[in-house]
């Protein structure tokens, strides 16, 4: 029987967001060191105080993931000083095509490409190499249920999350024999402040705390992939089974 995974040194990228905050609060306990990275230093500082009140030790860092090399270098420097047991990449941005537009703005596509795919993939690859040298460690990449559907009104978001899903699967296979577990989590709608700014229906919306608990369980078990809530897994298979003309007609409806 494999040992239960109890990470003591946890890095959370995107900790100032709704899901990242819920994850930090979930893991905050005595004996745990939380490294909290995000864009909003005010929120990070408040979160750090709450986590310390729960007994955890904390470090905070404000950074912009659009500086991919800077983010990778900073992460590797922290890992060199104090090796990371578990890294959770919970940062990301979502948006949809502007009202009346035929396609998404090219700047939006570039920004989401960097934040949702290039930065987390680059950082995960660099950290996986470090963990492989230690023959232990876990990395959680937060994707989206949107990755499994070609959404014409959110090409950049669904496309970048699809890329991250394929990357996570490939990295998982590559790291499997080196003691490093790669976990992909593909959630549906999460009730965060950022999500509420995007118009449209949010079926089966989940509280960030509930999603954080599912992510922590997936990380502890070293699962390859978790889709939550379960109706989105059904939608994923439904999308695959539909004939292309019918699928495209539904997506354009």
Quick: pLDDT tens for 186-244.
998 888 766 565 555 566 689 999 999 999 999 999 999 999 977 777 776 766 666 66
Does this model's pTM top 0.95? My answer is: no
Residue bearing tokens 């999308």: 239
How do residues 68-97 score in pLDDT, each as one tens digit? 999 999 999 999 999 999 999 999 887 777
Cα distances from 194 to residues 6, 111, 129, 182, in angstroms, run 31, 16, 32, 26
Q: Backbone phi, then psi, for 9, in 5-degree steps?
A: -120, 110
DSSP 110: H
Beta bridge partners of 60: 36
- Joined tokens for residue 165: 């899903």
Please state which of the ranges 5-9, 109-113, 237-241, 246-250 shows the lowest mean pLDDT: 246-250
For 40, the token pair is: 């909003």
Tokens 């999603």 correspond to: 211
């Amino acid at each position: 029987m494999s040992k239960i995974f109890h990470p003591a040194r946890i890095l959370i990228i995107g900790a100032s967001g709704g899901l990242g905050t819920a994850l930090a609060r979930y893991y905050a306990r005595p004996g745990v060191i939380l490294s909290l990275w995000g864009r909003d230093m005010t929120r990070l500082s408040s979160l750090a105080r709450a986590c310390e009140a729960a007994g955890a030790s904390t470090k905070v860092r404000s950074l912009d993931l659009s500086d991919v090399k800077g983010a990778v270098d900073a992460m590797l420097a922290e890992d060199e000083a104090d090796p990371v047991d578990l890294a959770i990449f919970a940062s990301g941005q979502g948006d949809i095509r502007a009202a009346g537009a035929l396609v998404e703005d090219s700047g939006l596509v570039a920004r989401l490409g960097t934040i949702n795919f290039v930065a987390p993939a680059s950082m995960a690859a660099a950290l996986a190499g470090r963990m492989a040298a230690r023959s232990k460690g876990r990395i959680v990449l937060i994707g989206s249920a949107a990755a499994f559907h070609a959404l014409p009104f959110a090409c950049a978001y669904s496309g970048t999350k699809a890329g991250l899903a394929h990357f996570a699967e490939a990295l998982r296979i590559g790291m499997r024999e080196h003691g490093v577990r790669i976990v992909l989590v593909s959630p549906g709608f999460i009730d965060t402040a950022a999500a509420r700014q995007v118009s449209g229906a949010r079926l089966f919306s989940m509280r960030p705390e509930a999603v954080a608990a599912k992510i922590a369980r997936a990380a502890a078990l070293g699962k390859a992939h978790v889709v939550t809530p379960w109706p989105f897994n059904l939608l994923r298979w439904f999308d695959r089974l539909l004939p292309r003309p019918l699928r495209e007609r539904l997506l354009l409806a």
